Structure formats: C-alpha cells, structure tokens
Amino acid sequence: MTWWKRLWRRKKMEEQLEKELHFHLEQHASDLIASGQSQGEAWREARLAIGGPEQVKEKCRDARGTRWLEDFIQDARYAVRTFRQQPGFAGIALLTLALGSGATSVMFTVINSVLLKPLPYPEPERLLTLHEQDQATVYPFSYLNFLDCEREIRSLAAMAAMRNGGGTISEPGEPEYVSGRQISSKLFSVLGINLSSGRAFLPEEDRPGASPVVIVSYRLWQRRYGGDAGAVGRPLVFNGKPYTVVGIAPGDVQLFGDADVFTALGQNTEPIMQNRDVHPGIRVLARLSSEVTLGRAQAELRVIARDLAERYPKSNEGHTITAQPLQQQIVGDVRSTLWLLLGAVSLVLLIACVNVASLLLARAISRERELAMRVALGAGRGRLVRQCLTESAVLALSGGALGVLLAAIGVRPFVAFWPGDLPRAEEIHLDWRVLLFAVVASLVSGVLFGLAPALRAPARELEQALRAGGRTVVGSSRRLHSSFVMCEIALAVVLLVAAGLLGHTLLRLSSIDPGVDIHNLLTARVALSPGALAEPGTMRAAWRDLLDRVRQTPGVQSVALADLVPMDSDENLIGYSTTPATPPANQITLSLLTSVTPDYLKATGIPLRGGRFFEEQDGIGNETVIVIDEALAQRAFADRNPIGSRLWVQFLGPAKVIGVVGHVRHWGLDADDQLKVREQMYFPFAQCPDQFLRLASSAMSLVMRTSVAPLNAVEAARREVRGATHDQALYDVRTMEQIVSGTLAQQRFLLLLFGVFSGLALLLACIGIYGVLAYLSRQRVPEFGVRMALGASSFEVMRLVLRQSLGMILVGVVLGVAAALAAGRLLGRLVAGVHPAEPLTFTIMVLVLVVAALFASFIPAHRASRMDPVSALRQE
C-alpha cells in the first residue's frame, strides 16, 4: 500500500486496528477464564499484559509511516480550533506577525525587483557599460574614442553609444519639448530589443550627412500619431529639422529614464563630437561575445586604451577603458540603502517574533495540565514538540499570508515615496520569489517563536503538573520570559538610536548654509527655438532676447542664465593650473566650471568676496575673464590676492581672475565637505567659444529671483519664454528650496522609515513588557497576598513589580547600546553626514525607551498593588 493510500484509508485502518486488538484481548481473557479466573480479573490481566491498548495503538500508528502527515493535519485543525477559542490572543499574535512580515515583504519585494532580478533583456548578464577613466575621474566616452574602440574590439559582440538629446517637436501637432536620445545604430540590437514596428537605424544612417531618420517612442506614437500603423515613413520636425520616422520603440523600453525621440548619434555634426578631448556625455553599452569572460574583455579594452593613448597622447594620456556589468551600474548606490532597510525591517520582525514567542510561552504554561494529560494518554515527547511547532507554524503562516497581503497593498505607495529615481521602479511587483521568501521567513520565525514553548512542554514532572490543577508552577519560565523582554528592549534600542542618529544628522545638515539664498529662487531649463540653433550669432541673439523678456515678467526681480544649477546633480569638471605649462595627467587640478550671465550673483544671492563680477562688456573679443570661489582661491593662491592673477584653464586658455565669490555646497549639504573637487569657477556665457555654444545652449537654465512665491511666477515666465516664434518651452521647473531639500532626500527618507520602524519596535516592545509583567505578576499573586498580609503596603508591592521590570529593561538597554554602537558605525558608512556615536542622541533615545517601558510596566504593577490580600490568599 502506498503511503497516500494508507492516509486515504485512515478511518478503515483505525477500525481494523481496534478490531485486531479487541480480538487479542478477548482471546487472552477467555483463555484466562478457562483456566479458572473471574471475568473481570481476566480482562484486567489481559490488558496489563499487552501494556495498555491505547499506548499500543499509538505505537502501531507510528509504525504506519504516514504518521507525521496525519498528526500535522490533526494538529493544524486543533490549532485553528484553539485559536478561534482565544480570539484576543490569536488576534494580537496575528496582527504583530502581519505587521512584521508585511514590512519585511515590502522591502524584499523592492530588493528582489531592483537588485536580484536580472534586467529585462535577453541574456542580461552579458550586458556591460564602458567608461573612460584616469586616476582621478570616470568619464563618459568621447565620440572618436568610442568609434575607434568599436572598430578594434573583438571580445564584445557589439557596442553602442547613446547620449541625451532632447528638443522641440514642432510638427505634426503643437510645439512641445520632449526628452530624447542620440543613439548609435546598434543600440537596440545590443540590448536585444525588437522595435514594435519599423526598423532600427542602419549603419550607413549613423554617419554625418546621411538622410535624417528618427525612431519615436510608443508613447509619442500614441500621442502624436494616434497609434496609426502608417506612422512609419511619415515626417517629423525635431529641433527645426525635418526627419523621417523609421521605427517605433516598444512601450516598456527604459534607457536611463524615459525618452520619446531617438536620433542617430553619427549625424550629430557639432564640433564637440570630433574633439577627443571632450566627453559629451556619451554612455557606452556593450554585449559580451559568447564564451568570452568579462576579464578577457577588460584586458582587451586596456590594450586598446593604451594604444589610443600612444596615438593621441594629448587627449588620451593616462586614460584607460573599464567595463562593468550593466546591472551593477544601473543599481548603483541604491544597493546599500535597500540592504540597510531590509536589516532594519528584520529587526522589527524579530521583535514581533519575540513578542509572539512570549505570548505562546505564557499560553503553554497555562496549558501545562492539558499537555500532562496528553503524556499520560500516551503522547511521546517528540509528539508534543511537534504539536507545539505545528501550532506556531499555523500562526506564522497565517501571519505571513496577511503580511503578503499588506505588502501587495503597501509596495506601490512605498515606491512612490522613494526619493529621486528608484532604478527599475517600473519592474517592482510581487512574484513567486517574494511568496517563497514570505513562506520561508514565516516558517523560520514560526520555528523561532515556537521552539521555546515546545522544548519546555514535556519538561515537567507529570504527576506534579496533574496534581497542581489549574494553578501552575512558575520557575524557569520567569528567566525565559525576562530574557525575551531583554531581547525586545535591546532590538528596540538599536532601531531607536538609528532613527535618532538620522534625525540629528538631518537637523544638523538643514541648518548648514548652502552658499546660495534659496528663498524665492526659481530654476528652469529652456529649449531655445529650433530656428535659432542654426548658428552662433542667432543663438546669442535668442538668449539676449529671452533674458530681456523674462526680466520684464511681473514678479521676477532679476534673472540670469547658468549651465549648471547650484546643487543640482549635474557637473562640469575642467582642469586648471596656475602656470602655462600643462601639468602631467595625474597632477591636474580640477574645478567645477559654470558659464553664467552678469546678473547671476544678483539672482542667486551668492556673496561677492572681492573684485567684481561679470559685466556686459566682458564679451567675445575682450580679454578672457573668470571669477573663482573661496575654495579655489584658497587652493590656488593661498594667502595671495588672486584678483588680477592668471589661471590657465582647459579649453579657455589663459584667463584673468577678476573676482572672488562665496563657496556653494554644490555636491549637497551632506557630502560637499568630503569631496575631492570642491573648487568652483565661473566664466561669462558671452565669452563661450562658438564651437561650444550649441552644447552650452542645450544645458542652459534660467535662474530667477522672484518677489512673489517662486511657483506663482512660473506661468507668466512661461508665456514670456515662448518668444516671437512661439516655439520655446520652459521645462524642469524647480525652486531652489526643492533642489536643496532633494540633496537630503536620502536622509529624510531613511529617517521617516526608521522613525516608523522604531515606533513600531517601541510599541511592540511595550506590549511585550506589559504582557510579560502582567503574566508574571499574576503568577505572584499568592506571594503578594502573603506579603500584604504580613504588612507590606501597596506601594511596596508596586515597587517590587517595577524593580523586576527595571532590571530587565536595564540589561536590555546595555545590550542594545552595544549593538547600536555597531549599527551606528554601519549607518555612518552608508549614509553621508551621519556621525556614528553621538552621546546626546543615545541618551535621549534610551531615555525615551526606558520611560515608555516603565509606563508599560506601571499598569500591571498598579494592578498588583490594588488587589485584595484576602482574595489573593484564598486563591492559594
């Protein structure tokens, strides 16, 4: 008989077992009666001889081999029944577990989708990103280096380049600014993406002078062509230039953010594309050939880079080319934050487990008599342990199921709340891995909190337990219970201190002066009229016209242009030196370079420390001038007066320093102090060389100081910006306050989550303390009765209970502070600006916890002191 047949026919087998044993007893008894014994005595002896029919049955059932399953079903049914009889207990336990496992599941869902799941491309593990690199910096590629590398490389199946290139679409439909990418012909094939219709660019279209072709996104196709299948082959006017649509990208393609228009990178004829020295933001993706390791590809790239450096020492000296898996690059620094959160959430789950464990233990102790009865009826020790574990598993799995439900509801709001861009956010959803994780996590926690009561269950003397009746004997359980409380306190301390450290960091950072007057300051990107982009002269005129128009706008006090918005994540690093000779590659000093118009200081409120700022006469044809910040003045000139001195700046040549301004914490309030390159340099946009004008124009932002709330000035400014041709658009509108608070987004987000987690932990720990103390005090009722009868006041009884809880709390706090010191160090490494050991934060957080815990223990203490000694004694 197979095991499932035996299980299926369980009832019949039970009947047969009964019948078989009955037959045995009957035969034995009738033999004994035949030999002269009385009937009653004969039956008694027969039963004794066989050793108790029920025990024999148990052993026979064990012999069946399907025992565990039968028992499991039976135990599970029993567990559900008893939980239904105690809805309060079951409700609290389930809620605790659901919160714990729900929070953990949300974190795991995000981690699973962002970090663990492979990218949604075929053979994603072979996708790489490539960078140029020297000792100091990682660069995007220069276009010529990309072309050389692509031609020579053998270990990569294909390479592709792309670069941001948004612009204005003026036909068909209304003019509109859209984001775009300039891509090399192989981009889609490297990623393994099939276009939803049409074709990708041909290699011959990826060259200067080829016929202008464009691929549009699925969204744009829906929006502008109404999803018309005949859109391929139709014209599209982009940045004033007529293109032909050749393909439509699939709906879900995400290339470092959304893009609506793809043009051929090779058709870009700007001078920067032909200059090896310039790195115009070209990202390079590649697919590894089959049977080639990453190591071999990296080695070949190094050889190619050395080759290029020999051929073009001026631009490529000291440069190497590196490759890393695409997934690593995309996920970037989100990794540490996510693991940190999972860690924090696991602590909450652990506290929840400890809470439920102590609930179950208290329940097991009050069920001692039932368990003893089971042993007397033939249950083995292993059987009882199994029963206890089954009960906790039932509890854990239902808690886990509720948790998954909470996670399914909670994961969207969580992702929406993430500061900045969470990579791969669109891929986040629950899948089988999350379910598996939830099941495993619930079972593990079920075993964790079921083990203590289970191991304890059959430990007591049978007889004693049975005789003790309803009252139970406290002893070792008290130690176990208090160690639960200590664990909870310790875990809560860790979370509270972590939240405290984050809060303190946030407070400290927010009070730092960013170097810019952030109130009433508005920034916005501008897309110049496509018609004006044709040549340098028209571009300069268009910018001048734009500034004049915006200056007239009501509510705008002053306005300037800048190609770098302060504290935005953009950068533009450039080498400089105090001597005309170019220093060796590894000694180049770098500075942020911002090109601005004369009213920049007035608009931003950056203070002038010496000399003067740019004026209208600082134009092309006049002497090249720059303004430097305090950090650069300190670094390059130390104590000397920099005004009137010269700096030799990459691309600009020799430039005269005409002023010194205050330092702006461009890299964010948190990180600016720690970075290598802090120096800042400004030069007049009017002196921008013609060859860079197109590049600079595409990066320009308006910086406006307003006399009204900045967002109220937006509409008027937008109207002015449209210009005479009505095709200039304002986009990416942000106030400076938004940008600055964005630099603290990670800290704020973590603080919020840690705040929630630690609040949850505090609550759970207090419930735990309350439960344990209430339980222990109930056990001590007779003792208190005696004490009061002997003259102890109610105050003294209360002190007795509180002292017991204070003892547990203090041990927990000591353990927790030790763990929190370690956790603080981890936090300090992962989150900029956190100081790992701040005594004040530790003290405050520990105090909060101790007060809350004492408050929780006050209720049972008060109840104990209020009882009537006579009725307490009667209970004995």
Instruction: List residues near another protein by CB under 8 A.
Output: 16, 19-21, 23-24, 26-28, 49-52, 55-56, 59-60, 62-65
Query: How far is 734 from 86, CA to CA, in rounded Å?
Result: 56
> CA 334 to CA 424: how far, in whole Å?
11
Residue closer to another protein, measured from CB, 65 or 87: 65
Q: Are 595 and 686 in contact (CB under 8 A)?
A: no
Pairing verdict, β 156-164 and 138-139: unpaired
> In terms of CB distance, is 45 or 568 closer to another protein?
45
Nearer to another protein, 18 or 732 (CB): 18
**Nearest of 353, 392, 369, 394 to residue 458 by alpha carbon:** 369
For residue 308, give the H/E element and its range.
helix 294-311
Least separation in angstroms between CB 68 and another protein: 14
- Residue for token digits 């490539």? 130
- Whose Cβ is closer to another protein: residue 22's or residue 656's? 22
- Helix, coil or strand: residue 611: strand
Residue whose entry in the numeric block shows the structure tokens 């203090």: 810
Q: How far is the CB of 30 from another protein (least distance, A)?
A: 9
**Beta strands at 127-133 and 646-649: parallel, antiparallel or unpaired:** unpaired
User: Shortest Cβ distance from residue 71 to another protein (Å)?
Assistant: 16
Question: Hunting for tokens 């609506």 — which residue is that?
Answer: 260
Tell me the torsion sign for CA atoms 441, 446, 449, 454: negative
Q: Tell me the angle at which helices 745-779 and 334-366 cross, rounded to the nearest 10 degrees.
A: 10
Nearest to another protein of 37, 189 (CB atom):
37
Which residue number, 49 or 620, has a Cβ lying nearer to another protein? 49
- Count the Cβ atoms, other than its own, within 10 Å of residue 438: 24
Distance CA 685, CA 193 (A): 41
Contacts of 713 (CB under 8 A, 6+ apart): 522, 553, 554, 555, 556, 704, 706
Length of the chain: 876
Query: Closest distance between another protein and the C-beta of residue 60, in Å?
Result: 5
**Minimal distance, residue 387 CB to another protein, in Å:** 21
Q: How far is the CB of 863 from another protein (least distance, A)?
A: 51
Chain position carrying tokens 């209430």? 774
Q: How far is the CB of 374 from another protein (least distance, A)?
A: 19
What single DSSP character describes residue 50?
H
Residue nearer to another protein on the CB measure, 52 or 537: 52
Q: Toward another protein, which CB reaches closer, 6 or 748?
A: 6
| Closest alpha carbon to 399 in 363, 366, 355 | 355
In the complex, least distance from residue 17 CB atom to another protein, rounded to whole angstroms: 8
CB of 466 vs another protein, minimal distance in Å: 23
Q: How far is the CB of 461 from another protein (least distance, A)?
A: 24
Least Å distance between CB 27 and another protein? Answer: 4
Residue 625 · residue 683 · CB < 8 Å: yes
Give the N- to C-terminal CA distance of the chain in Å, as an integer: 56
Q: Of 58 and 176, which has the nearer Cβ to another protein? A: 58
Q: How far is the CB of 24 from another protein (least distance, A)?
A: 5
Q: 416: which strand partners? A: none
Closer CB to another protein, 69 or 292, in the complex = 69
* SS3 call for 499: helix
Alpha-carbon distance values, 320 to 1, 140, 156, 298 (Å) = 71, 12, 17, 10
| Biggest CA pair distance of the chain | 136
- Enumerate residues 6+ apart whose C-beta is below 8 A from 436: none
Burial of 803 (0-12, 13-18, 19+ CB in 10 A): exposed
Which is closer to another protein, CB of 50 or CB of 92? 50
Contact 236, 214 (CB under 8 A): yes
* Closer by beta carbon to another protein, 62 or else 783: 62
CB of 51 to another protein, least distance (A): 3
Output 64 or 799, the one with its CB closest to another protein: 64
